[in-house]
Structure 1
Amino acid sequence: MLSDNIKRIRKSKGLSQEELAIKLNVVRQTVSKWENGLSVPDSDMLITLADELDTSVNVLLGETVTESMTDDLKVISKKLEVINLQLAKRNMVKIKTIRLILIALCAFIVLVFIALTIMQSSYLRWNYNNPELAVAGTILHGFEFVFVRLAPLVFIASVIGIAITYKKR
């Protein structure tokens, strides 16, 4: 039913699949798949699609809404409330995941700094006449050189990111 409604409303608006795809920032094949029932748009895209076609999501989904019946409006508002709660939960999960990644990155940076402090660049006292030690020492020195210069910037950016994820919305 969704596929037929998308096609019917698109044609009634005088839009080609290509024109609708451009408005939605998708490829024409995506619109074709929707209209042939091979796939369906996700919830965000469904809302955008309804806006572009100047209709409601309910009409796209094949539900008829009569404004005279308050029971129907209550049912629709409950459905929208459930959808909004699901979207809010999805956003919170994304924010928590990003926050955990940033916290882990900060912990990793601190641990590497501790390890480098404990090592005290001991590789500089190695016998560099041995080619294997020379390669290993050069790699360690290069890593330490780059890490000590970039890690503080990454750490500060991560802390700012963590603070932003805790900000009330």
Structure 2
Amino acid sequence: MLISLSKVFDVPVNVLLEQNLHIENELEIKELSLRLEAINVYLAQKEKSRKKRYQKLLILLCVLVVLIFGFLVYFNSPYLEWDYANPERAVLGVGYHVFEWLFVRIAPVILICAIVEIIVLKKALKS
């Protein structure tokens, strides 16, 4: 990670670590390489945990979309049988219908995108 950062910014790694590089013996080189390796491992673990957390959120989103869709199918548009003479019920019926109409059109796109991203993240976590 540090090496890629140094390449992106065109800066040596020792500048990123805020150290002057005056290595006199091999022991200092080994110590510095161990420190760099520890930092690199820490950053890699942090990135991996971030990807896992993002993947879990996407799985939760998929479950939520499926549950809402199941809820809408189970209740089968109850607003169709309501008496719209009552203004409060009319507003509620229109709101329910708008939510249902938008959800049925947007949810498949959200679900497909989330599933694709889960697959991409799973492949990235394996490598």
Place the TM-score, normalised by the shorter chain, in its bin.
0.7 to 0.9
Q: How far is 1:152 from its partner? A: 0.5
For 1:51 and 1:157, how far apart are their aligned partners in 2? 33
Alignment match, 2:57:
101
Q: How far is 1:80 from its partner? A: 0.6
The gaps in structure 1 that reach 5 residues or longer are 1-42
Identity of aligned pairs, percent? 34
Alignment match, 1:165:
121
- Contact 2:14–2:21 (CA<8 Å) still a contact in 1? no
The gaps in structure 2 that reach 5 residues or longer are none
- Within 5 A, what are the aligned runs for 1:19-30? none
Change (3 A) 1:155 1:74: same
Change (3 A) 1:145 1:79: same
Q: What is the TM-score normalised by the length of structure 1? A: 0.65
Q: How far is 1:55 from its partner? A: 4.1
One-letter code of the match for 2:58? L
One-letter code of the match for 2:18? L
CA-based RMSD: 2.3
Q: Whose relative contact order is higher, 1 or 2, with alpha carbons under 8 Å and at least 6 apart?
A: 2
Change (3 A) 1:100 1:56: closer
- Within 5 A, what are the aligned runs for 1:52-67? 52=10, 54-57=11-14, 61-66=18-23
Matched, 1:153 2:118: no
One-letter code of the match for 2:90? A
Q: How far is 1:65 from its partner? A: 3.0
Q: How far is 1:120 from its partner? A: 0.3
1:124-151 CA-partner distances (Å, limit 9, x unpaired): 1100110001000100000000000110
The SS at the match of 1:61 is coil
Alignment match, 2:48:
92
